[in-house]
Amino acid sequence: MDLRTLNTPAALIDVGRMQRNIDRMQTHLDVLGVRFRPHVKTTKCRHVVDAQIAAGAQGITVSTLKEAERFFADGIRDIVYAVGMVPAKLGQALALRRQGCDLKIVADSLEAAHAIAGFGRAHGERFDVWIEVDVDGHRSGIPPEAGLLIDVGRALVDGGMALGGVLAHAGSSYDHDTQDALAAVAEQERGGAVRAAARLRAAGLPCPVVSIGSTPTALSAQRLDGVTEVRAGVYVMFDLVMRNIGVCELSDIALSVLTTVIGHQEGKGWAIVDAGWMAMSRDRGTQRQAHDFGYGQVCTEDGAVLGDYVMSAANQEHGIVSRAGSPDTGIAQRFPIGTRLRILPNHACATGAQHPDYQAVGEDGVVQTWPRFHGW
Amino acid sequence: MDLRTLNTPAALIDVGRMQRNIDRMQTHLDVLGVRFRPHVKTTKCRHVVDAQIAAGAQGITVSTLKEAERFFADGIRDIVYAVGMVPAKLGQALALRRQGCDLKIVADSLEAAHAIAGFGRAHGERFDVWIEVDVDGHRSGIPPEAGLLIDVGRALVDGGMALGGVLAHAGSSYDHDTQDALAAVAEQERGGAVRAAARLRAAGLPCPVVSIGSTPTALSAQRLDGVTEVRAGVYVMFDLVMRNIGVCELSDIALSVLTTVIGHQEGKGWAIVDAGWMAMSRDRGTQRQAHDFGYGQVCTEDGAVLGDYVMSAANQEHGIVSRAGSPDTGIAQRFPIGTRLRILPNHACATGAQHPDYQAVGEDGVVQTWPRFHGW
């Protein structure tokens, strides 16, 4: 199989770019002296995760228990489920641990801590629980200075569970686009997690792991004293949101959607393509950033960026490609019916999820199908 | 299986509501004297399509050739592929027809017409081709008055193909929210398609089928003289976008996402739930409408609408539920950890596509798993 014979739309991975992205993150964290635990929610693809582990990653992060089950079945034992545990899912977590999976779960409330400890004791299982720390008001977690932090740690330990560490994610890093601001958020993420760990230890509680991370902070951190591991997901593909944040160039983006021109509206300067939001996802993550790429940046079939051409609108299986600014009324000659284009996506996690498979294009031009899974 | 034991997140179908939506559309079109050809892109689910056909639908509309292949394998022969045909997909279309599928394909340019005719002659296949007509400048198609319409019709007929009809879709109907405006767009869609058919016939070309439709226009049309069939997709589930347009009530929406509360940020009035954009999709279709529902309207587990509570923000596997207007600082008491909620989606086609299965909740409370497929 090669690029010219693929059906469209298709999700392409440029394997050379992917490998360079993996090596860049791993080398950066090796230099800073911390372990790296990639977040596999971005690709849910064994081939990609194998490459991350081959480069030096230690363990994985998952966003669903289905990811944990699939990757454990593929031989990965060291897994953090980084979404707050609820009582109804403890049976599923228990089953994984009973099969030998070193699954870590997360709590950020007394209710969750008590539920985990109660269930664990009832089933003779000492769950390994990490406390989620809120370092930027972005979403979940307990502020490092809150009394609740110690209460939750004590509830877990007194309840017979293993308090494995703290976990933080500076999701607000996505709101910045200068190196100084990103370095500051990275330091805020590091400082918050390290302070939380210190408070737990000062209270006589264990806290072996200090886990932090997001792609922008991981790549912008200048020191990681006190941190034991970093998590990041989208860095493996990168996307237009990350390009606008400033942590990659367009030429680093490893994921694209291959599409075919199916028609035109010449007077409007539109080429209609067979990739719509079903293939791109509805993610409009660059809408509020400095450069709005619509539904994606248009490139040639071989991946050369085509200046001002973007996918400006999308229906389910139709995309509209047009030139930003003035309409290109010669677009039917520029991109005749049958022309194949690549579209760089706003958000690699969302675009990947629309596809049952990736088509991985090697540097030798050979294309391999890499399955991914979806659902819960 | 019942509702209380389902894992979350899950895509629920309220089967009673679905059946009422199916009956409403079918009855309306029966009264207007036209055939109904549902667009199966909304659900890609055999169980739903079986119910549509049982109610009287004749044939289906698809947005991908994979849908055609799957539903043909399920026994449906009469299929329109309503996306402009490109040369590279003609082999796949030919294979379907050779297996006995009565597949109709679509063209809106001379290039496509010549490519179809050339390929058809080379393979001894008389493709049934419908010409796409542009009735509102929304996307694809040839204006009813354009000379190109006759040229494309003649190219098909002279090339030995069957000119099966014209097909129009008033996508701009989504931009309106009054009954008068919707009725006017419906009449514009009808009139444009009928004029195109009349021009083809006046030129001595056949045009047996006049196919139009979108959910808003189908439900708002007051007469359909000259039309032979209507297509619509989202009506089977409805969603918040359709509610804002004015063609359904919240209580008609048959699709929802079941989710569990996993934590809180009390000071902000947030409940965190285990459905994020992966479960809801990134579709923010109500953002530019009169009532912005965020990522969805919150209901109880049993489906009662909870006033002003919406999913106001979403990450991949986390949603933030909050009260529109003033924060509910008692939200942790209102929705304790473990509380199960249903979220009505902005866009049923997009939300459904995020899930491998629907969980169909019957009026007797029994839950059945209805698989759906994705990809191309």
Q: Is B107 exposed, middle or buried (0-12, 13-18, 19+ CB in 10 A)?
A: buried
Alpha-carbon gap, residue B97 to B91, rounded angstroms: 10
- The DSSP output letter for B230 is E
A111 interfaces chain B, CB cutoff of 8 Å: yes
Mutate to test the interface with A, among B81, B152, B282, B283 (most CBs of A within 10 A): B282
**Cβ-count burial B141-174 (b if 16+ within 10 Å, e if not):** bbebeeeebbebbbbbbebebbbbbbbbbbbbbb
| Structure tokens belonging to residue B147 | 């000379």
> Widest CA span of chain B, in angstroms?
72
State how beta strands B10-14 and B255-265 pair: antiparallel
Q: What band does B139 get if pLDDT is binned at 50, 70 and 90?
A: confident
Question: What count of Cα atoms within 13 Å lies in the side-chain half-sphere of residue B118?
Answer: 9
Give the global pTM: 0.97
**Smallest Cα–Cα separation from A320: which of A257, A260, A271, A256?**
A271
Which pLDDT value is given to residue B138? Answer: 85
Alpha-carbon gap, residue A28 to A221, rounded angstroms: 9
Contact residues on chain B for A84, CB-CB shorter than 8 A: 262-263, 272, 274
A58 interfaces chain B, CB cutoff of 8 Å: no
For residue B335, pLDDT over 90 is answered with yes
A7 interfaces chain B, CB cutoff of 8 Å: yes
Q: What band does B223 get if pLDDT is binned at 50, 70 and 90?
A: very high
| Structure tokens belonging to residue A114 | 């008590």
Rounded to a whole number, what is the distance in Å from the CA of B337 to chain A's nearest CA? 7
Q: Quick count: other Cβ atoms within 10 Å of Cβ B356?
A: 15
Residues 6+ apart with CB under 8 A from B66: B373, B375, B376
What is the residue-averaged pLDDT of chain B?
97
Complex-level ipTM: 0.96
Which pLDDT value is given to residue B190? Answer: 98
> DSSP readout, A37-76?
EEBGGGT--HHHHHHHHHTT--SEEESSHHHHHHHHHTT-
Residue with tokens 């406390």, as numbered in its chain: A131
Residues 6+ apart with CB under 8 A from A111: B336, B337, B338
The answer to whether residues B23 and B55 touch, using CB atoms and an 8 Å cutoff, is: yes
| Structure tokens belonging to residue A60 | 């994985």
For residue B1, pLDDT over 90 is answered with no
A91 interfaces chain B, CB cutoff of 8 Å: no
Q: Which of A86, A112, A316 sits opposite B349 (nearest CB)?
A: A316
Contact residues on chain B for A278, CB-CB shorter than 8 A: 63, 353
Mean pLDDT for B62-75 is: 98
Which pLDDT value is given to residue B220? Answer: 97
B320 interfaces chain A, CB cutoff of 8 Å: yes
Structural domains of chain B, with CATH: 32-235 (3.20.20.10), 246-369 (2.40.37.20)
For each of chain A's 376 residues, which pLDDT tens digit applies?
A: 789 999 999 999 999 999 999 999 999 999 999 999 999 999 999 999 999 999 999 999 999 999 999 999 999 999 999 999 999 999 999 999 999 999 999 999 999 999 999 999 999 999 999 999 999 988 899 999 999 999 999 999 999 999 999 999 999 999 999 999 999 999 999 999 999 999 999 999 999 999 999 999 999 999 999 999 999 999 999 999 999 999 999 999 999 999 999 999 999 999 999 999 999 999 999 999 999 999 999 999 999 999 999 999 999 999 999 999 899 999 999 999 999 999 999 999 999 999 999 999 999 999 999 999 999 9
Rounded to a whole number, what is the distance in Å from the CA of B9 to chain A's nearest CA? 7
Alpha-carbon gap, residue B60 to B76, rounded angstroms: 8
> To which H or E segment does residue B153 belong?
helix B147-158
pLDDT in tens, B282-313: 999 999 999 999 999 999 999 999 999 999 99
Alpha-carbon gap, residue A282 to A280, rounded angstroms: 7
The answer to whether residues A174 and A216 touch, using CB atoms and an 8 Å cutoff, is: yes
Contact residues on chain B for A134, CB-CB shorter than 8 A: 265
